[in-house]
Amino acid sequence: MIVVIVVVVLVLAVGGVVVARRRSRRDRAPRIRAAMPEVLVRDVASRPSLGDVEDLERRLSSSRSLFDRVRSLSAQGSVNEEQLAVVEEVLLRSDVGLSATNEIVASLRESGAPQGVANSLRAALLTSLSADRTVRVRASEGRVPVWLFVGVNGVGKTTSIGKLAQRHINEGRTVVLAAGDTFRAAAAEQLAQWATRSGADIVRASEGADPGSVVHDALGRAQARGTDLVLADTAGRRSNSTNLLDELAKIRRVADREPGEVVETFMVLDATTGQNALSQAREFLAAAAVTGIVLTKLDGTARGGIVVAIERELGIPVKYVGVGEGVDDLIVFNPENFVDSLLQA
Ligand SMILES: Nc1nc2c(ncn2[C@@H]2O[C@H](COP(=O)(O)OP(=O)(O)OP(=O)(O)O)[C@@H](O)[C@H]2O)c(=O)[nH]1
Ligand SMILES: [Mg+2]
């Protein structure tokens, strides 16, 4: 009898501790949220090693190798014309673009690069990459924040959404994915796999359905469930490009109408397409009011200088970069780490 009483008392005590812990965790959650500013401060990489200089040097090895000749230039004395010619050639070959290259070379010539060519080039590149990269995850009171993803087919929209869904969920947000690419059935299927993997909710419709209504339904679901963020996928192709842009403008209007509010529109660009990515982007800019670039496939045969060209030519900040196909392989773009991965000896 005594044994039974002891066991019952023990079970009740342990249960009490567990409930109290859960309660205190629940009590803490709203306080953490209330402390978050209206516009999210800088996003942070969830794993410190991912995206640090050594990690980037490995992943961006094809871009880094283009800068081999600059890294090997002497760090002594002021820069000479022969060295400037090397810098010019390297920048052009790495897709920095003609106008940024001319400007950077002129600034090195003027300063004489007293701290060495690589150091001065580092400073010049960082000056070109000084955009504000804040990402917004909060909408106005009572509205559902939406991140809209646009871009031509195959650039990595769906994959980037999947990776970002995982990132937001790791950071404690709830996410609904809107399968707005109804052009082909496989698109919704691909997004559904990312939803399962990350634990995100998904709203999808059959092939050929109106993408606007998918986004509308996703907003309804998010509002009903108090979801933190909707990530909306879109098709990369239609029968012709005019229709695609019209359709994107329409999706955007739906996503930005109550209860939704588009807080970020990401143009996804494939870094391996180099200067072509720029002309693609220009077509989309007007239709979609882009607030940030997701630059994918920087790990492949890309020439990293395209980041500079994109920011300079388009005036839109690169906010995330894709450095592989895995779920963790999308990192917050950090200019210092990026430039160091190209120029650090
Ligand atoms: N190496 C590498 N591959 C990537 C990266 N991002 C995407 N990919 C690959 O690029 C391919 C196309 O990606 P998707 O996400 O399907 O592209 P999409 O823009 O949604 O294409 P559509 O739906 O046809 O418009 C896939 O094989 C991805 O795994 C990246 O950062 N690095
Ligand atoms: Mg897709």
Q: Which of 58, 296, 333 to mutate to test the pocket of ligand 1 (most atoms within 8 A of CB)?
A: 296
Q: Which of 325, 327, 328, 333 to mutate to test the pocket of ligand 1 (most atoms within 8 A of CB)?
A: 325
So what's the pLDDT on residue 172?
96
Ligand nearest to the CA of 154: 1
Q: How far is CA 31 from CA 9, 38, 141, 218, in A?
A: 34, 14, 17, 27
pTM given for the model:
0.86
Token duo for residue 325: 């196909």
Ligand 1 and 163: CB distance under 6 A: no
Beta strands in the chain (DSSP E): 144-150, 175-180, 201-203, 229-234, 260-270, 292-296, 318-322, 330-332
Cα 162 to ligand 2 centre (Å): 10
* Cα–Cα distance measured from residue 280 to residue 262, given in angstroms and rounded to the nearest whole number: 22
Q: Which ligand 1 atom lies nearest to the CA of residue 151?
A: 19
Contact at 8 Å (CB) between 177 and 149? no
Ligand 1 and 274: CB distance under 6 A: no
Residue with the smallest CA separation from ligand 1 atom 13 is 156
| One-character DSSP codes across 183-244 | SSHHHHHHHHHHHHHHT-EEE---TT--HHHHHHHHHHHHHHHT-SEEEEEE-S--SSHHHH
Ligand 1 and 325: CB distance under 6 A: yes
Q: Which ligand 1 atom lies nearest to the CA of residue 153?
A: 25
Cα 283 to ligand 2 centre (Å): 19
For 240-257, the pLDDT digits (tens) are 655 888 899 999 999 999
For 103-121, the pLDDT digits (tens) are 999 999 999 998 899 999 9
So what's the pLDDT on residue 128?
94
Q: Which ligand 1 atom lies nearest to the CA of residue 159?
A: 15
Where the chain has pLDDT below 70, the residues are: 1-49, 239-242
Ligand 1 and 259: CB distance under 6 A: no
Structural domains for the chain: 144-290 (3.40.50.300)
Contact at 8 Å (CB) between 95 and 62? no
Q: Which ligand 1 atom lies nearest to the CA of residue 233?
A: 20
So what's the pLDDT on residue 232?
98
The torsion region of residue 104 among left (phi > 0), alpha (psi -120 to 50) and beta comes to alpha
Q: What 3-state DSSP class applies to 95? A: coil
Spatial CA neighbour of 220 closest among 251, 259, 165, 264:
259
So what's the pLDDT on residue 12?
53
Ligand 1 and 158: CB distance under 6 A: yes
So what's the pLDDT on residue 82?
94
So what's the pLDDT on residue 181?
95
